[in-house]
Every structure is written in structure tokens, then in C-alpha cells.
Amino acid sequence: MPLGGVIFIAIFVAIFGIVILYAASRFGTRRYDPVKFESYECGVPVQEKKDTKISVKFYLTAILFILFDIEIIFMYPWATTFRDFIKSGEGGYVFFSMMVFIAIFIFGLFWEVKSKALEWE
């Protein structure tokens, strides 16, 4: 079971990162200057952050991503077993059912394109 290795290297990398950040923070000089600690906005006086308007498109993209991602993940077990199904003579049935699924997928994609949910002006 490779799980131990995965956890080991994840923790190792995290510790490596923390140590290196800590070490770097020890070496550098520090001089205090109130302007320096303002957010960087090309030298223009900082505007208040709360007025940031963020397009709802980003979140719409994320929602569509989730839905289509799951449909794609459904294809993975199908892809691994498709040849076994063909060998056992059920290939046509499985092929057909997946094509129905993909047709639904394509219809969804077509609908989103048509309803301009994916337009970025």
C-alpha cells in the first residue's frame, strides 16, 4: 500500500517549505516603513478592498466544471472495462448506454453555449 509513502512525502514537503521560509525570514534585514506594508497597487493610494466587484462568471464556470467533471469521471470506469465487456459479448449494450450518456453530455454543453453561460464579454 503506497499510502504511507504519499503521506510521508507530503509531510516532508510541508516541513521543507516551512523550514525554508523560516530560515529566509531569519536572514533578511528588516526596516519599518508604513507605506511599504500597504497593498501593492502600482503606487496609487490604496482603495478600500470591500468595493471589489467580482464577476459571477467565475463562479458559474466553477459550477459547470463540477457538473461536467463528474460526467467525465463516470467515463473512467467505463473506459477500463469496455474491452472486457466486448469480450463477454455485452459490448453493444454498454456502448449504446454510454453513447446515450454522452448525448446527454453534449446536449448540456450545447445548451450552455446556446444560453451564453460561457460567454465572457
Q: Does position 44 bind other proteins by CB under 8 A? A: no
Q: Does position 70 bind other proteins by CB under 8 A? A: yes
Q: Does position 121 bind other proteins by CB under 8 A? A: yes
- The dihedral through the CA atoms of 3, 9, 12, 17 has a sign that is negative
Least distance from other proteins to the Cβ atom of residue 107, Å: 6
Q: Does position 31 bind other proteins by CB under 8 A? A: yes
Count of residues touching other proteins (by CB under 8 A): 95
Q: Does position 32 bind other proteins by CB under 8 A? A: no
**46 burial class (0-12, 13-18, 19+ CB within 10 angstroms)?**
exposed
CB 82 within 8 A of CB 94: yes
Least distance from other proteins to the Cβ atom of residue 35, Å: 10
Q: Does position 72 bind other proteins by CB under 8 A? A: yes
Least distance from other proteins to the Cβ atom of residue 118, Å: 5
Please tell me the distance from the alpha carbon of residue 82 to that of residue 90, in angstroms, as a whole number.
9
Residues in CB range of 108: below 8 A, 6 or more apart: 67, 68, 71
